[in-house]
Amino acid sequence: MKIETIAIHAGQEPDPTSGAVIPPIYLSTTFERAEDGNYPHGYVYTRAGNPNRTMLEQCLTALEGGADCAAFGSGMAAAMSVFQALRPGDHVIAPDDAYHGVTRLLRELMLPWGLEYTPVDMDDPANVRAALRPSTRMVWIESPSNPLLKVADIAAIAEIAHEVGATCAVDNTWATPIFQRPLGMGADLAIHATTKYLGGHSDVLGGAVVTREVGPLFERVRFIQGNGGAVPSPFDCWLILRGIRSLAYRMRAHADHAMQVARFLDAHPQIERVHYPGLASHPGHAVAARQMCGGFGGMLSVAVRGGQTAAMGVAARVKIFTRATSLGGTESLIEHRASVEGPESKTPQNLLRLSVGLEHPADLIADLAQALG
């Protein structure tokens, strides 16, 4: 089945009791036992399992081509569950340009917990090999990365991870399964902030871990989900599933608009550099063209000539783009990334990150043109 069809149907049968085509929201926190003491529908208590969560998990499993999925209340809760599934003393390799929340999680929470962690520039898979230790248990990839849109070769890095028996996890939030399917390239886990493109409308927070195989590591993730309790509400699951139905069509438009905006900015004298893997000049373009199919996503960042003041000035003058963090909604957003990442940020001060939305690209380009002056 094609991915457009999977997005609309996987996990989503009409409701057997009412015939409702769109699933109801199961708010009940508890489920009845049969006279024999068993739970005939498999649900006991909503922290452990809920019908809306099952539907979402089945759909995400199918979209990523995996074996199972655990949904969480945020992307960070999903990431946390993966790191907590390891043991103190285990070593993790992660990108030096990962989503700053993941870097902060590793540094501020998981290092004190006992995990060892090495940030690595994953432009070259050889850097990952050089960072391997006998205790390496996980290589975490984010591609394209945040905020510099660096591209990591997922198949090559997964192979290196597997040589030492480590798990390869890919944060696939930016590409989505429409453009990139890490599990088919040898990765073991695909992680999502469903808050972003999957939800797609900037109105729900969520996360997910999809696994290629159900083994001890994923069983621990599932245990952490039910017992750690960072679970999404039934309504959150319902909203994310509603967003997913139009995912394929939204992603195509996001990528088409981002490409047009990237080309415009690339030719603009006020712009020093455009980071978008769809541009042939991007250092990761060849790898991205091989491992992403159908598009390069809706995110890009730009270095503005004139430093921080000039960059902030552009963000101050836009009228259609909204100055806000996050990404993946229908509306276009722009942000001065170093400001949101805080004082420890290594992001260049003249960098603006753009989430290119679904407005008409001509309007977006005109807006940027007037803001750049």
Ligand X SMILES: *Cc1c(COP(=O)(O)O)cnc(C)c1O
Of 99 and 218, which CB lies nearer to ligand X in the complex structure? 99
Structure tokens at 242: 């509603």
- Angstrom CA distances, 149 to 28, 202, 292, stand at 42, 21, 13
Residue 270 neighbours by CB under 8 Å, 6+ apart: 304, 305, 306, 310, 314, 372, 373
Among 46, 50, 61, 74, binds ligand X (CB under 6 A): 74
Is there a contact between 229 and 47 (Cβ–Cβ < 8 Å)? yes
The window from 41-49, 121-129, 147-155, 171-179 that contacts ligand X (CB under 6 A) reads 171-179
> In this structure, which amino acid lies at residue 155?
A
Task: Examine residue 76 and tell whether it contacts ligand X (CB under 6 A).
Answer: yes
Of 270 and 330, which CB lies nearer to ligand X in the complex structure? 330
The window from 87-95, 161-169, 170-178, 301-309 that contacts ligand X (CB under 6 A) reads 170-178
The window from 69-77, 109-117, 264-272, 273-281 that contacts ligand X (CB under 6 A) reads 69-77
Task: Examine residue 347 and tell whether it contacts ligand X (CB under 6 A).
Answer: no
Q: What is the largest CA-CA distance in the chain?
A: 75
Among 64, 90, 123, 171, binds ligand X (CB under 6 A): 171
Compute the least distance from the CB of residue 196 to ligand X, in Å.
Answer: 5
Of 101 and 226, which CB lies nearer to ligand X in the complex structure? 101
- Angstrom CA distances, 310 to 62, 124, 305, 307, 372, stand at 45, 32, 7, 6, 9
Among 118, 143, 173, 176, binds ligand X (CB under 6 A): 173
Distance of CA 128 to the CA centre of its chain: 21
Compute the least distance from the CB of residue 73 to ligand X, in Å.
Answer: 8
Report DSSP state, residue 188: S
Complete DSSP assignment for 310-330: HHHHHHHH-SSSEE-S---SS
Give the residue nearest to ligand X (CB): 75
Is there a contact between 94 and 119 (Cβ–Cβ < 8 Å)? yes
> How many residues in the shown chain lie near ligand X by CB under 6 A?
16
Q: Note if 171 is an active site residue.
A: yes
Compute the least distance from the CB of residue 45 to ligand X, in Å.
Answer: 24
Cα 82 from Cα 95, distance rounded (Å): 16
CA-closest candidate to residue 353, choices 370, 373, 333: 333
Of 25 and 340, which CB lies nearer to ligand X in the complex structure? 340
Report the alpha-carbon angle 39-42-43, nearest 5: 90
Compute the least distance from the CB of residue 325 to ligand X, in Å.
Answer: 9
Compute the least distance from the CB of residue 146 to ligand X, in Å.
Answer: 5
Task: Examine residue 65 and tell whether it contacts ligand X (CB under 6 A).
Answer: no
Q: Note if 99 is an active site residue.
A: yes
Given the residues 53, 137, 196, 353, select the one marked as catalytic.
196
Given the residues 26, 43, 99, 117, select the one marked as catalytic.
99
Which 130-159 positions form the footprint of ligand X (CB under 6 A)? Answer: 142, 146
- Looking up tokens 């090999």 gives 129
Among 75, 144, 200, 329, binds ligand X (CB under 6 A): 75
What is the three-class DSSP state of 154? helix
Which 192-211 positions form the footprint of ligand X (CB under 6 A)? Answer: 193, 195-196, 205, 207
Torsion angle defined by CA atoms of residues 29, 35, 36 and 39, in that order, rounded to the nearest 10 degrees: -20
Of 207 and 284, which CB lies nearer to ligand X in the complex structure? 207
**Contacts with ligand X, 96-135, as mask; x by CB under 6 A:** ---x-xx---------------------------------
Compute the least distance from the CB of residue 193 to ligand X, in Å.
Answer: 3
User: How many H helices and E strands in the chain?
Assistant: 15, 12
Beta bridge partners of 68: 211
The residues assigned a catalytic role are 47, 99, 171, 196
Positions in the binding site for ligand X (CB under 6 A): 74-76, 99, 101-102, 142, 146, 171, 173-174, 193, 195-196, 205, 207
